[in-house]
Amino acid sequence: MEREWVVEESVAVEAGPRAVYAAVADPRRMREWSPEVFAAWVRGRAIVPGTRFVGFNRLGWRVWFTTCQVTVAVPGEAFAFRVSSFGMPVALWGYRIEDIGGGDGAPRTRLTEYWEDLRRDNRGAAFVSLLGKLFTGVPADGRAAVNRRGMRATLDRVRSGVEKGRAG
């Protein structure tokens, strides 16, 4: 099987785009949704392009952190951030938010989470891939499958939380 470099998953949420955006556009809230993230430290209060944060992750007994920078923050539309390790690109994570409306006029939003592995595009790719395997226990060619499972869990939790009114 050929290695996957890009993965995305989507879910329909019975809520408006702004409520969905509020749920996913603050890294401090990601521990509510993600099966891997257990904490985030954000520099500053506002989450805008350029905001830096550190995500703390867990997979089984393994614990690691990632350094991140917000690249896109458009309320009701999109949120994305780049992940790096030792200054080398690792991945791009993001959310696309699309108003798809309900047939009865009720709000309905398509939330798409995506991940792109950036390790193929830098000189330190082999080193960063080795670090990734050591810290997470997941080889680089298995990361897409792990992320796909995590995305499905994350999106299901976001959908459930937003629909129950826990978005804001």
pLDDT, position 44: 87
pLDDT, position 127: 57
pTM over 0.85: yes
How confident is the prediction for the chain on average, in pLDDT?
88
Which residues, other chains included, contact 92 with Cβ-Cβ below 8 Å and sequence gap of 6+?
A: 71, 80, 81, 82, 83, 114, 115, 116, 118
Q: Which two tokens stand for residue 78?
A: 């999109």
pLDDT, position 140: 62
More confident of the two residues 164 and 165: 164
Can you tell me the mean pLDDT for 18-46? 95
For each of the domains in the chain, give its residue range(s) and CATH number, in order of start: 6-163 (3.30.530.20)
- Alpha helices by DSSP H, listed for the chain, are 17-24, 30-33, 125-136, 143-163
pLDDT digits (tens, 9 = 90+) for 72-107: 999 999 999 999 887 888 899 999 999 998 777 789
Q: Is the pLDDT of residue 67 over 60?
A: yes
pLDDT, position 120: 73
